């Protein structure tokens, strides 16, 4: 059973981390552990496309959608774990991380991974709520890891805003339970149970409940206008943690929203949720566009880029239909990988220059050739240029938009991503090209990071044109689950 490895391995890794006195072996074991989890998650995905679903303990229910999100999370976790090794070691060398504080980092890293895998595999939506909340609490320490004024400020904002968000999500969950028990006649919060009785639920209550769910989990997913914690957290967290937040945390919250949307859609059709998701999606892209144009800080730039992509995903999901939802899910995968890639490069650059202010970073290509190339590739991928996979998923969403008659929304979407393309590439090329500071020494990239960069680049290039059969099957049956078929 792959799922046991996926759920238990992070707990084991967290439990053994205090035993280590040195950072190096712990980082190695951590990366190996996450490689094992990644392999298990691929095997789980293949297994589930054959079996349909896995259920056990009355608590877990895994279908293609869960397997898909677990796969995305495992990928990002693995790359982030591999990258953490070099990153934290450097922090120790430079004195930012003292004594045995690295133990805390790896323990939190793995607890966070556990809560996120749990979110994707639990059936009971109350337990899902608990897992997301635990994930927030754990990651607050990762955001505030450096314990200086700015990082504590970021962590505080993150905790407070997300706590209010999660409180609203709990209220939404209670509303769902209310109508499920009163009109549906079931006394559980199981997603499968609520799906079964979806037809009997009260639309009036569902509408309110869904609004709370969307605002509540949307706060965590970074949907505008509840996104304000996100750029601060990205800016202050260690780079591998920022990659985790964008690749895992935001995606897990979106996953929960998708599950609830499926219930609501099954009860009263996709119009209501569709309108809301399209509206918030476009709003997120628009706000991200404005802040990307005016941005001066490289890490905040990446934060707003995440808000943009979350907006694109919810737009595609709101447009609906097999192509829209398929495009949105594919975008989840593509964004997670491309964002991980850009953090791999950018983390090293901002540390070498000792600032994340874009006006002070020039000529990164000369100082750190490998990282510079990685950032450049990732920037084009994120901006949505061919031949990278994000281009494919964005085109899918645009096609779905025109086909289903959402002309206005699709045109606004295309205009906004064109603007973002220009602004994003402009900012990044200002940092990558040009003359570097005179007295700065050239810096190589560690082998682990190099391998990670090459691997991700290969994946986002290849998947733009062709995806493996199991992946297609997984995506197709996830789309069917979300459409209630």
Partner 1 sequence: MVMDIFLLCMLITTFAMVAAKRMTALVNGFIGESLFLFFFTLTLGLRSAHAELLMVAALLFIIKVIFIPYSLKRISNKIKAEEDLGLFINPMVSIFISGGLVYLAYLFTRRIISMPGAIENAAFFVSLAMILIGIFIMVSRMKALAQVAGLLVIENGLFLAASAVSGGMPFFVEIAIFFDIFLCVTILGIFVYKINRLFTHIDVDKLTELKG
Binding site for partner 1 (CB under 8 A): 124, 126-127, 129-130, 133-134, 137, 140-141, 144, 147-150, 152-157, 159-160, 163-164, 167, 170-171, 174, 177-178, 181-182, 187-189, 204-205, 208, 231-232, 235-236, 291, 294-297, 300
Residue 39 or 137 with smaller CB distance to partner 1: 137
Give ∠ CA 370-371-377 in degrees, rounded to 5: 90
Tokens of 372: 């510079």
- CB-CB contact of 314 with 284 (8 Å): yes
Task: For the CB of residue 26, give the shortest distance to partner 1 in the complex, in Å.
Answer: 24
Task: For the CB of residue 448, give the shortest distance to partner 1 in the complex, in Å.
Answer: 31
- Bridge partners of 62, per DSSP, are 54
Q: How far apart are the first and last CA of the chain?
A: 27
* DSSP letter (8 states) at residue 437: P
Closest CA to 158 of 81, 249, 285, 34: 249
Residue 189 or 449 with smaller CB distance to partner 1: 189
Task: For the CB of residue 133, give the shortest distance to partner 1 in the complex, in Å.
Answer: 5
- Number of CB atoms found within 10 A of residue 453's CB: 24
Residue 46 or 138 with smaller CB distance to partner 1: 138
Dmax of the chain from CA atoms?
A: 72
Say how far residue 468 (Cα) sits from the centre of its chain.
Answer: 22
Task: For the CB of residue 373, give the shortest distance to partner 1 in the complex, in Å.
Answer: 28
- CB-CB contact of 30 with 109 (8 Å): yes
**Residue 384 falls in which region: left (phi positive, over 0), alpha (psi -120 to 50) or beta:** left
Residue 287 or 374 with smaller CB distance to partner 1: 287
Tokens of 215: 């605002």
Say how far residue 282 (Cα) sits from the centre of its chain.
Answer: 18
Distance CA 422, CA 438 (A): 29
Residue 46 or 361 with smaller CB distance to partner 1: 361
Tokens of 356: 């994340």
Task: For the CB of residue 401, give the shortest distance to partner 1 in the complex, in Å.
Answer: 31
Residue 160 or 411 with smaller CB distance to partner 1: 160
Task: For the CB of residue 147, give the shortest distance to partner 1 in the complex, in Å.
Answer: 7
Residue 216 or 311 with smaller CB distance to partner 1: 216
Task: For the CB of residue 294, give the shortest distance to partner 1 in the complex, in Å.
Answer: 7
Residue 35 or 137 with smaller CB distance to partner 1: 137
């Amino acid at each position: 059973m792959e799922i046991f490895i996926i759920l238990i391995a992070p707990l084991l890794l967290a439990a053994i981390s205090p035993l280590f006195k040195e950072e190096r072996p712990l980082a190695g074991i951590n990366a190996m552990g996450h490689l094992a989890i990644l392999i298990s998650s691929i095997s789980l995905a293949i297994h589930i496309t054959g079996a349909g679903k896995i259920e056990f303990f009355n608590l877990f229910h895994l279908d293609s959608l869960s397997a898909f999100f677990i796969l995305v999370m495992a990928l990002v976790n693995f790359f982030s774990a591999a990258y953490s090794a070099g990153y934290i070691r450097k922090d120790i060398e430079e004195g930012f991380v003292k004594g045995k504080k690295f133990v805390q980092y790896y323990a939190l890293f793995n607890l966070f991974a556990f809560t996120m895998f749990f979110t994707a595999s639990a059936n009971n939506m109350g337990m899902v709520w608990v897992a997301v909340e635990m994930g927030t609490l754990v990651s607050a320490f990762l955001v505030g890891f450096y314990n200086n004024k700015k990082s504590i400020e970021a962590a505080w904002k993150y905790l407070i805003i997300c706590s209010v968000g999660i409180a609203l999500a709990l209220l939404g969950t209670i509303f769902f339970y209310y109508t499920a028990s009163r009109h549906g006649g079931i006394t559980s919060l199981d997603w499968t149970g609520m799906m079964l009785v979806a037809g009997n639920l009260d639309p009036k209550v569902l509408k309110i409940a869904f609004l709370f769910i969307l605002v509540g989990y949307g706060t965590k997913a970074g949907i505008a206008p509840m996104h304000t914690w996100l750029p601060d957290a990205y800016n202050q967290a260690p780079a591998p943690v920022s990659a985790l937040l964008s690749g895992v945390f935001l995606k897990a919250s979106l996953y929960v929203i998708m599950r609830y949307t499926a219930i609501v859609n099954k009860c009263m059709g996709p119009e209501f949720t569709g309108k809301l998701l399209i509206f918030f999606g476009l709003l997120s892209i628009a706000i991200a566009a404005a802040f990307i144009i005016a941005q001066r800080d490289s890490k905040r730039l990446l934060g707003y880029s995440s808000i943009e992509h979350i907006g694109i995903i919810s737009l595609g999901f709101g447009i609906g239909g097999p192509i829209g939802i398929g495009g949105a899910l594919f975008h989840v995968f593509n964004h997670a990988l491309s964002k991980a890639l850009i953090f791999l490069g950018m983390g090293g650059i901002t540390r070498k220059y000792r600032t994340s202010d874009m006006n002070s970073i020039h000529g990164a290509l000369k100082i750190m050739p490998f990282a510079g190339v990685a950032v450049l590739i990732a920037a084009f991928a994120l901006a949505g240029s061919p031949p990278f996979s994000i281009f494919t998923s964005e085109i899918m969403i645009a096609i779905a938009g025109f086909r289903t008659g959402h002309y206005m929304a699709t045109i606004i979407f295309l205009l906004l991503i064109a603007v973002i393309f220009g602004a994003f590439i402009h900012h990044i090329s200002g940092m990558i090209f040009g003359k570097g500071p005179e007295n700065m020494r050239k810096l190589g990239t560690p082998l682990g990071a190099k391998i990670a960069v090459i691997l991700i680049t290969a994946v986002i290039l290849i998947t733009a044109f062709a995806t493996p059969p199991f992946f297609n099957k997984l995506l197709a049956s996830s789309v069917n689950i979300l459409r209630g078929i």
